[in-house]
Amino acid sequence: MLDIYGPPAAGGRAERFCDGLSRRSLLRIGSLAALGGGVTGGWSLPSILAADAVAGRRSSPKSVIMIYLVGGPPHQDMFDLKPQAPAEFAGPWRPVATNVPGIEICEAFPNLAKIADKYTLIRSLVGNQADHDAAQVFHGRDTRKAKPAGGWPQFGSMVSSLLGAATPTAPPFVSLCYPCTHGPYNEPGAGFVGAAHSPFRPLGPARDELVLKGISLDRLHDRRGLLESVDRLRRDVDVTTNMRGMDAFTERALGLLTSSALADALDLSREDPRVVERYGTGDPTVFMDENGAPRVPQSMLAARRLIEAGVRVVTLNYSKWDWHGGPGNSIFKREAEDFPVFDQALSALVEDLHARGLSDDCAVVVWGEFGRTPKISNIVGRDHWPQVNGAFLAGGGMRHGQVIGATDRIGAEAIARPVTFGDVYATLFQHLGIDVQSTTLTDNQGRPQYLADDGGTVIRELV
């Protein structure tokens, strides 16, 4: 993948994602390699460009924005409040009515309460693993179970492998996730579909492997310098790599590196200042508890701009929600800090997609790795709770203004309409035009693997 230098992690640490490969293993330029093998019905970017050249048409892609709430958000304090439960379960927050009769959410989310007709709350997400592990969020698989050869690819990598890029000027998959010092908080990587389908990471740290040396975010607009860097890189690559014998369409695929479209999408100074203000801003150098992601609302705006630029999947991580309590760090103190900022940013994203006519084409999913314990601990925190979790879905042309599933009187167990990660993923794949019942990807041992875990099926209430 192509790494662009971004801001350093807290304290200037040179953080790394855990899916790094050696220089000679693959040329990784943001999912642009001409690799189409090992995919049932898959397309590489060059082949899509070739097909478009023959057909004389351009596509209007469906897309997904995935927002990972790092560390496990408290479902019973956000979207599944239990005001009738004893105080040691209910906590101090009160529910507030939304613009959809019968649906209530936390009083700290007044902006989201006004637009409940534009999203769906899943209150019965089951099958969560018990430990911190972003992998299940990003590919829907329980990491405690057996893995295929090469490991499970994350969602964006699967989409990249199956569909390729929608436009020559944007990669299929962009990650805006900040690297976290706690390894399990990071994305799992491209797995068996290969490094060619790793995300483009404009906010990622420098790597020791294959990077375009000397190219920074500030210099991304220097198209000539970027092209020269690519040319030097190509000369240095082992002749046994896939760079040998590239045809005109593969050369054109590399052309996205010299386009200004991606840089323009990431340049928020080009956005209406009123829109930037509506989303809110945060400091990308302030890492929550030193190992979670920064609280950066403008990542949601950047995600929308990337979708408009033609990216199919954008992932981002937001703040840290692992609130166990302790002196000066009670869960309710942290919620009072995080909830209003989150309410402003997420409501802005949902409204923005509708205002720009993107709500049918772009689906948004917001979730974490598990729920939190129903009972508040003696140090005023909630601990890990895999029995039930929640999710927020918006856009995607789905039927919204509803709640799916229910939990018991203290938010401990799902008592109606259990939903799995596989079901959510099946729904997202269908939104992108991919049938999870018939489409497979081939792992490193040649075995076909289905896209959704546990026989996941499309959530019927949404479609």
One digit per residue, pLDDT tens: the chain, 463 residues? 333 333 444 444 434 334 433 333 333 333 333 333 334 444 444 444 455 445 544 446 999 999 999 999 999 999 999 999 999 999 999 999 999 999 999 999 999 999 999 999 999 999 999 999 999 999 999 988 999 999 999 999 999 999 999 998 889 999 999 999 999 999 999 999 999 899 988 874 433 322 333 444 445 445 455 555 555 545 554 443 444 334 444 444 455 555 678 878 888 999 999 999 999 999 999 999 889 999 999 999 999 999 999 999 999 999 999 999 999 899 999 999 999 999 999 999 999 999 999 999 999 999 999 999 999 999 999 999 999 999 999 999 999 999 999 999 999 999 999 999 999 999 999 999 999 999 999 999 999 999 998 789 999 999 9
Q: In terms of Cα–Cα distance, which of 69, 71, 88 is closest to 411?
A: 88
- Between CA 127 and CA 136 the distance in angstroms is 10
Q: In terms of Cα–Cα distance, which of 462, 454, 461 is closest to 126?
A: 454
- Residue 11, CA distances (Å) to 177, 181, 431 in order: 18, 11, 41
Q: Are 322 and 73 in contact (CB under 8 A)?
A: no
Considering only the top CATH level, what class is 10-462? alpha beta
Q: Is 96 exposed, middle or buried (0-12, 13-18, 19+ CB in 10 A)?
A: middle
Instruction: Please measure the distance between the N-terminal and C-terminal CA atoms of the chain and give it in whole angstroms.
Output: 35
Q: How many CA atoms lie within 13 A of 462 on its CB side?
A: 30
Q: Is 97 helix (H, G, I), strand (E, B) or coil?
A: strand
- Between CA 419 and CA 427 the distance in angstroms is 11
Tokens 């690799």, located at residue: 35
- Is the pTM higher than 0.75? The answer reads yes
Helix axes 298-308, 331-355, angle to 10 degrees: 30
Helix (H) or strand (E) holding 315: strand 313-318
- Between CA 339 and CA 70 the distance in angstroms is 14
Q: In terms of Cα–Cα distance, which of 222, 218, 198 is closest to 210?
A: 198
- Between CA 392 and CA 398 the distance in angstroms is 12
Give the pLDDT of residue 141. 94
CB atoms within 10 A of CB 384: 18
- Between CA 5 and CA 202 the distance in angstroms is 7
- Between CA 316 and CA 214 the distance in angstroms is 25
Give the pLDDT of residue 39. 40
Give the pLDDT of residue 227. 52
Domain ranges of the chain: 10-462
- Between CA 129 and CA 371 the distance in angstroms is 10
The strand pairing partners of 106, in sequence order, are: 95
- Between CA 243 and CA 401 the distance in angstroms is 49
Give the pLDDT of residue 21. 38
- Residue 255, CA distances (Å) to 217, 250, 263 in order: 18, 9, 13
- Between CA 56 and CA 45 the distance in angstroms is 16
- Between CA 296 and CA 302 the distance in angstroms is 10
Q: Is 235 exposed, middle or buried (0-12, 13-18, 19+ CB in 10 A)?
A: exposed
Q: In terms of Cα–Cα distance, which of 187, 195, 225, 215 is closest to 23?
A: 195
Give the pLDDT of residue 131. 92
For the chain, give percent helix, strand, coil, nearest 5. 30, 15, 50
Neighbouring residues of 101: CB distance < 8 A, sequence distance ≥ 6: none
- As a whole number of Å, the CA-based R_g of the chain is 21
